[in-house]
């Protein structure tokens, strides 16, 4: 396509509303951007004047898919600020539900949102006829992932009892054993997923960029980590996150963009894989090898593959944590939280990347201000750079192919656009 | 001919649309009963001929108003899917600030040019045939609604408080555990899910018809909440006040 315009109004099979605009004249890109059109909801304003104990249930409603992720970051922030150290049993239960959400989100994305492109269909619905076993497997795995959350905290979308300090009601040992057994029984389904993805051809595109992820000394950081690690070699303490990450406004987007001192960067499964590969389970590393992924990978389409690697890893982590919990004497815990004025900063590796929550509390525990940095908002800058890198390589193709490639690139990031639009701060210069 | 079903999202977290995909055990049965013909989050295929439109999200911009009216035109039936569509849910908290104040807080002096209007439920803009409350929707309630619609029956919602469901389950009232709870005024239908998991009800499904709000505010105050805290409890999921729009 030498001269022409491609506009994708409301990209399908992504969470939230966004448009792709490409305008080419005589082989030169005049315009290329992803417009975020999702309506802002003003969470930063909503949080002011709410009590600390409302923060988690409010912010988890930023997103339906990564609700548990928001809860995790919120709880981590409040516990960091208020000086609360949760018990071992609480942390193990949290790792299990966090793994449940990671599994649910990644499997939804790969099977329902991304795979249709790779199988040449417009959605998962035609696959119900042509690939019935694949669809049933996807539903089975997703149901298990949701049950991990439902059985422990009531729901996956907007957890009922996931809160600061401890769980108000403990799951029974029977419940935990049942989840453990179902996870073990699901491992062949995950292996089948690995083999399916290994058999599909992903686009071949690379662009060198920086990858950021949280780091935890004892584990592949998912629930939380207190250090921000970069493939460029920097390590930043969590409370100094604003020294590493700057957000700024972009006119065509209801969501801010972000950059580090090196420019655009990516977060998410591929970023975690690139930074913390060494800490993955051996089985997860094997899955990566089967699917042709090794660190450091600069192909954003391989984010889909990294997500399946994480599914294998998280399922095994959840099994181990459940086995530990079954051996422990689980105790009901006191839920009292002493409140004081403080700056609360927390983070979690949610399915799409690093999520930061910051609140300032007054002495009565009312929130006076808040700042939230969303993984997808951090990725938008890098995504646009990738679009600018990809288009010249495919400009000689038919417009439909170019359109398809751009949509697939956006989907590869697994954007969560409702999340990214939660708040908007504008400075016109 | 199977009913043609569409799913749309307005100002929301899309959790209620997602909850449909989280009926994994029943999804294949649902597809046997209805045809999904339009659903941006899940499908690229699309259509303008719709028998039943499920719509989540509140209406918070002029563009939302325009799009909702279009959807109402092309759909035989329109169902509000979840709390945002039913009564604005948390998106209504913005309204308590007033539009100029909330834009000032988030945007500063340049806020005036942004399109945002006080959040409102779908029924404030177009006629709605049925509403599924809750943040998110209850999956069982959604499936019963689909079944009823396919059978030509009118779906129904319970009109008694969450306390009834809590007692049916034999839960110890969370007030006895030192918590404060909105159960006495909240609409049942969720199976008292939050209290059953040891936490308190926040009335995400809205209130029953004619709730005794004043009495419950007194109860909360007697249990130690300050007037500001009581207001917070009543305006977390139930901030919308149509008289203020």
Please determine, for residue B44, whether its predicted confidence score (pLDDT) is greater than 90.
no
The residue among A320, A311, A318 whose CA lies nearest residue A288 is A311
User: Which 59-88 residues of chain A touch chain B by CB within 8 A?
Assistant: 61-65, 67
Residue ranges, CATH 3.40.50.700, chain B: 4-151
Distances in Å between the alpha carbon of A291 and those of A85, A142, A208, A213, A310? 39, 21, 21, 22, 13
**A106 part of contact set with chain B, CB < 8 Å:** no
Most confident of A107-121, A405-419, B23-37: B23-37
Question: What CATH code would you report for A43-420?
Answer: 1.10.645.10
Average pLDDT of every residue of chain B: 94
Please determine, for residue A425, whether its predicted confidence score (pLDDT) is greater than 50.
no
* Cα(A388)–Cα(A164) distance, integer angstroms: 43
**Contact residues on chain A for B27, CB-CB shorter than 8 A:** 139
Please determine, for residue A360, whether its predicted confidence score (pLDDT) is greater than 90.
yes
pLDDT for B111 equals 63
> Using one digit for the tens of pLDDT, what is the confidence trace for A98-145?
999 999 999 999 998 888 888 888 888 888 889 999 999 999 999 999
More confident residue, A29 or A162: A162
Please determine, for residue A429, whether its predicted confidence score (pLDDT) is greater than 50.
no
Please determine, for residue A187, whether its predicted confidence score (pLDDT) is greater than 80.
yes
pLDDT for A427 equals 28
> Using one digit for the tens of pLDDT, what is the confidence trace for A189-204?
999 999 999 999 999 9
pLDDT for B110 equals 61
Please determine, for residue A328, whether its predicted confidence score (pLDDT) is greater than 80.
yes
Kindly report the number of other CB atoms within 10 A of residue B226's CB atom.
11
The residue among A1, A65, A110 whose CA lies nearest residue A406 is A1
**A161 part of contact set with chain B, CB < 8 Å:** yes
User: Quick one: average pLDDT of A213-228?
Assistant: 97
* Cα(B91)–Cα(B87) distance, integer angstroms: 9
pLDDT for A424 equals 37
Instruction: Encode burial over B52-73: b for 16+ CB neighbours within 10 A, e otherwise.
Output: bbbbbbbbbbeebbeebeebbe
pLDDT band, very low/low/confident/very high, at B112 (cuts 50, 70, 90): low
Distances in Å between the alpha carbon of B70 and those of B48, B50, B54, B61, B67? 10, 12, 14, 15, 5
CB contact (8 A) between residue B14 and residue A64: yes
**Contact residues on chain A for B22, CB-CB shorter than 8 A:** 142, 146, 156-157
pLDDT for A18 equals 79
Q: Which residue of A has its CA nearest to B29?
A: A128
Question: What CATH code would you report for B4-151?
Answer: 3.40.50.700
pLDDT for A171 equals 97
Please determine, for residue B70, whether its predicted confidence score (pLDDT) is greater than 90.
yes
Q: Between A and B, how many residue pairs show a Cβ–Cβ distance under 8 A?
A: 169
pLDDT for B107 equals 62
3-state per-residue secondary structure call for chain B: CCCEEEEEECECCCHHHHHHHCCCCCHHHHHHHCEEEEECCCECCCCCCEEEEEEECEECCHHHHHHHHHHHHHEEEEEEECHHHHHCHHHHHHHHHCHHHHHHHHHHHHHHHCCCCCCECHHHCCCCCEEECCCCCCHHHHHHHHHHHHHCCCCCCCCCEHHHHHHHCCCCCHHHHCCCCCCCCEECCCCCHHHHCCCCCCCCCCECCCCCHHHHHHHHHHCCCCHHHHHHHHHCCCCCCHHHC
The residue among A67, A72, A344, A84 whose CA lies nearest residue A225 is A72
CB contact (8 A) between residue A63 and residue B199: no
Please determine, for residue A252, whether its predicted confidence score (pLDDT) is greater than 70.
no
pLDDT band, very low/low/confident/very high, at B116 (cuts 50, 70, 90): confident
Kindly give, in sequence order, each residue whose CB lies less than 8 Å from that of residue A31, ignoring residues fewer than 6 positions away: A21, A22, A23
- Residue B174 token pair: 């969370």
pLDDT for A251 equals 67
pLDDT for A426 equals 30
Mind giving me the DSSP string for A349-396? EETTEEEEEEEEE-TTSBEEEEEEE-HHHHHHHHHHHHHHHHHHHHTT
Burial class of residue B177, CB neighbours in 10 A (0-12, 13-18, 19+): middle
β-bridge mates for residue B6, sequence order: B38, B53
To 10 degrees, the CA torsion angle through B124, B127, B129, B132? Answer: -10
State the nearest Cα–Cα gap between B109 and chain A, in angstroms.
9
To 10 degrees, the CA torsion angle through A64, A171, B175, B135? Answer: 10
pLDDT band, very low/low/confident/very high, at B77 (cuts 50, 70, 90): very high
**Contact residues on chain B for A400, CB-CB shorter than 8 A:** none
User: Quick one: average pLDDT of B155-164?
Assistant: 97
User: Quick one: average pLDDT of A25-34?
Assistant: 86
Query: How many Cα atoms occupy the beta-carbon half-sphere of A4 within 13 Å?
Result: 13
pLDDT for A123 equals 84
State the nearest Cα–Cα gap between B148 and chain A, in angstroms.
23
Burial class of residue A337, CB neighbours in 10 A (0-12, 13-18, 19+): middle
Asked which of A39-53, A231-245, A334-348, A354-368 is least confident by mean pLDDT, the reply is: A39-53
CB contact (8 A) between residue B41 and residue A15: yes
Please determine, for residue A423, whether its predicted confidence score (pLDDT) is greater than 60.
no
State the nearest Cα–Cα gap between A167 and chain B, in angstroms.
8
**Whether the Cβ atoms of residue A167 and residue A93 lie closer than 8 Å to each other:** yes
Predicted TM-score (pTM) of the model is: 0.95
**A411 part of contact set with chain B, CB < 8 Å:** no
> Using one digit for the tens of pLDDT, what is the confidence trace for A377-392?
899 999 999 999 999 9
Average pLDDT of every residue of chain A: 92
**Whether the Cβ atoms of residue B76 and residue B36 lie closer than 8 Å to each other:** no
pLDDT for A306 equals 98
* Cα(A288)–Cα(A295) distance, integer angstroms: 10
User: Quick one: average pLDDT of A328-339?
Assistant: 96
The residue among A117, A92, A115 whose CA lies nearest residue A167 is A92
**Contact residues on chain A for B93, CB-CB shorter than 8 A:** 46
- Residue A416 token pair: 């969560």
* Cα(B153)–Cα(A28) distance, integer angstroms: 58
Q: Give the position of tokens 């939380």.
A: A224
CB contact (8 A) between residue A426 and residue B107: yes
More confident residue, A359 or B107: A359
């Amino acid at each position: 396509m030498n001269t022409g315009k491609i506009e994708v109004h409301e990209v399908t099979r992504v969470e939230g509303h966004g448009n792709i605009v490409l305008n080419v004249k005589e082989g030169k890109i005049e315009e290329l951007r992803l417009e975020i059109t999702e309506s802002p909801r003003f969470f930063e304003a909503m949080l002011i004047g709410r009590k600390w104990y409302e923060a988690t249930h409010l912010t988890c409603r930023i997103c339906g898919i990564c609700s548990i992720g928001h809860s995790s970051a919120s709880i981590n922030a409040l516990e960091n600020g208020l000086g609360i150290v949760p018990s071992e049993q609480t942390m193990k239960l949290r790792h299990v539900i966090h793994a449940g959400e990671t599994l649910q989100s990644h499997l939804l994305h790969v099977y329902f949102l991304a795979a249709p492109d790779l199988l040449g269909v417009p959605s998962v619905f035609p696959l119900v006829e042509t690939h019935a076993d694949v669809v049933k497997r996807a539903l089975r795995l997703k149901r298990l992932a949701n049950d991990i959350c439902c059985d422990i905290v009531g729901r996956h979308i907007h957890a009922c009892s996931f809160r600061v300090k401890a769980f108000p009601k403990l799951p029974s040992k029977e419940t935990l054993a049942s989840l453990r057994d179902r996870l073990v029984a699901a491992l062949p389904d995950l292996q089948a997923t690995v083999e399916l993805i290994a058999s599909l051809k992903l686009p071949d595109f690379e662009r060198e960029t920086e990858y950021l992820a949280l780091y935890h000394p004892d584990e592949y950081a998912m629930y939380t980590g207190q250090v921000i690690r970069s493939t460029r070699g920097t390590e930043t303490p969590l409370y100094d996150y604003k020294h590493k990450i700057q957000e700024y406004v972009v006119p065509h987007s209801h969501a801010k963009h972000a950059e580090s001192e090196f420019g655009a960067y990516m977060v998410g499964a591929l970023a975690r894989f690139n930074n913390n590969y060494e800490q993955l389970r051996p089985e997860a590393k094997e899955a990566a090898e089967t699917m042709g992924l090794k660190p450091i990978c600069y192909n954003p389409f391989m984010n889909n593959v990294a997500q399946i690697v994480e599914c294998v890893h998280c399922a095994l982590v959840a099994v181990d944590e459940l086995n530990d919990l079954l051996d422990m004497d689980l105790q009901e815990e006191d839920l009292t939280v002493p409140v004081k004025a403080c700056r609360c900063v927390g983070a979690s590796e949610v399915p799409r990347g690093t999520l930061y929550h910051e609140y300032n509390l007054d002495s009565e525990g009312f929130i006076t201000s808040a700042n939230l940095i969303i993984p997808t908002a951090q990725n938008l800058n890098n995504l646009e750079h990738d679009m600018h890198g990809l288009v010249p390589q495919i400009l000689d193709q038919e417009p439909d192919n170019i359109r398809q490639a751009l949509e697939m690139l956006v989907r590869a990031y697994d954007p969560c656009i409702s999340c990214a639009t939660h708040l908007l701060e504008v400075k016109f210069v | 001919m199977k009913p043609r079903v569409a799913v749309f999202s307005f100002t929301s977290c899309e959790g209620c649309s997602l909850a449909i995909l989280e009926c994994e055990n029943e999804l294949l049965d649902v597809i046997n009963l209805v045809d999904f013909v339009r659903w941006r989050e899940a499908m690229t295929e699309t259509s303008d001929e719709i028998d039943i439109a499920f719509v989540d999200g509140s209406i918070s911009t002029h563009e939302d108003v325009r799009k909702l009216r279009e959807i109402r035109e092309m759909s035989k039936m329109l169902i509000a899917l979840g709390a945002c569509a039913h009564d604005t849910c948390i998106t209504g908290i913005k309204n308590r600030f007033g539009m100029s104040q909330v834009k000032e807080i988030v945007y500063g002096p340049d806020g005036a040019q942004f399109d945002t209007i006080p959040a409102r439920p779908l029924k404030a803009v177009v006629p709605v045939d049925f509403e599924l409350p809750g943040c998110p929707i209850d999956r069982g309630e959604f499936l019963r609604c689909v079944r009823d619609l396919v059978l030509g029956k009118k779906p129904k919602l319970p009109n008694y408080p969450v306390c009834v469901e809590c007692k049916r389950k034999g839960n110890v009232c969370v007030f006895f555990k030192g918590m404060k709870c909105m159960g006495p005024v909240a609409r049942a239908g969720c199976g008292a899910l939050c209290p059953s998991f040891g936490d308190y009800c926040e009335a995400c499904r809205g209130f029953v018809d004619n709730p005794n709000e004043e009495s419950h505010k007194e109860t909360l105050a007697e249990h130690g909440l300050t007037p500001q805290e009581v207001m917070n409890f009543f305006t977390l999921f139930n901030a919308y006040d149509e008289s203020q729009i």
